[in-house]
Amino acid sequence: SAQPHVTADPDQHQLPPAHPVKWRDPEVYDPVKPGGQMFWERGPDGRMRPESLYDSVVHKAIGRMTASLRNKGRRDALSLYIDAGYGIMEGSTYTPGEFTRLHLSQRNVFFIPMGGRLIAVYPKHLLFVIFSPNQGLTAQEEYNVFEFLKTHVLDAYKWTCMDGKCPRQDDDWSEDLRMLIHMEYLLRRSFRQKPATTIRYDARRMLARQRALQCTMESEEAWCS
């Protein structure tokens, strides 16, 4: 099961960011390629390899997921924008009240996409969970998340951080693609009062959700069920 860990001290570990920022202006890039080409590319050796998704693709996928689940009337579906995730990761300062309209403190859960990592925040439990099969947050990034939550969600000392448990897989997916599938799993359970700290999709189910995402992105229709 997921294990809590101690609050990061930014003065102890000044580590470089785990993932370089790869912001691409959605107004310039909108590469939703057919046939799954948005997820994989052919390398110099002729073999297919995972492709890091453009932020505009991730943004569109999150929008489709949240809209579809919200329309069902019983989902508390909310994700911050990708640029907000980058800003929080880097410790950017936001003006007081900038997130007030989102009512973050009243949510069962909301999500922060953060450079291939997914942060699930449970305000009613003063808990945030990091879902990342390969690499978590650096000490500095974790501290930045704490500061954001205390400033813009609930000014509480006892925020707890946990490492979420994800299924082990031998597939060749990019971190962005895996993050989207994990978010879809958690969004479906966002109406529940109990925090979700484990992704329970097995390999077959993960692949099915990836195909649903591909269908959704290529058809311009609502999220495939």
The domain spans of the chain are: 3-10+19-94+104-219
CATH tag, 3-10+19-94+104-219 = 3.40.395.10
pLDDT at position 18 is 44
Whole-angstrom Cα distance, residue 93 to residue 204?
41
**Which of 200, 103, 122 has its CA nearest to residue 161?**
122
Judge contact between 159 and 184, C-beta under 8 A: no
* Residue 202 buriedness (CB in 10 A; 0-12 / 13-18 / 19+): exposed
Amino acid at the residue 25? D
pLDDT at position 153 is 94
Q: How, if at all, do strands 40-42 and 160-163 pair?
A: unpaired
β-bridge mates for residue 112, sequence order: 119
Q: CB-based contacts of 133: which residues, under 8 Å, 6+ apart?
A: 166, 167, 168, 169, 178
Task: Collapse the DSSP code of 153 into the 3-class scheme (helix H, G, I; strand E, B; otherwise coil) and give the result.
Answer: coil
Extract the residue ranges of the chain whose pLDDT is less than 50.
1-3, 6-21, 27-28
Amino acid at the residue 161? C
**How many helices and strands in the chain, by DSSP H and E?**
5, 7
**Which of 135, 84, 129 has its CA nearest to residue 109?**
129
Helix, strand and coil content of the chain, in percent to the nearest 5, comes to 35, 15, 50
Whole-angstrom CA distances from 122 to 54, 94, 125 are 28, 21, 6
